[in-house]
Amino acid sequence: MKKYDVVTTISYPKKGAQGKTGNWRVFRPVLDKSKCVKCLQCWMFCPEATIIRNKDDTISIDYEYCKGCGICANVCKVKAITMEREAEKK
């Protein structure tokens, strides 16, 4: 990545540009792997790209940045994903 010297509004790509957006969550998606049929609907419909598609087409969830919108649970055909309230902080 080449950085330019001129001082104007030039921004460089960074994961988490708006911070750890996982902190926004009220509910978190929880996957029941036994139910997953690897249809990848959740991966396709996640606006944040925080449903990670593994090599074998199973999925993992990037909780650092997942905003907890619940679209993945909503579109899952077999209800393998459920939305659970974030654990209360002590």
Q: Which residues contact 25 (CB under 8 A, 6 or more apart)?
A: 66, 67, 68, 86
Q: Does 82 bind other proteins (CB under 8 A)?
A: no
Q: Which residue, among 61, 63, 17, 27, has the nearest Cα to 43 in the 3D structure? A: 61
Considering only 13, 56, 88, 89, the residue that binds other proteins (CB under 8 A) is 13
List binders of other proteins among 44-73 (CB under 8 A): 44-50, 53, 57, 62, 64-65, 67-71, 73
Place of tokens 């139910």: 35
* Site residues (vs other proteins, CB under 8 A): 1-2, 4-21, 24, 39-41, 43-50, 53, 57, 62, 64-65, 67-71, 73-75, 83
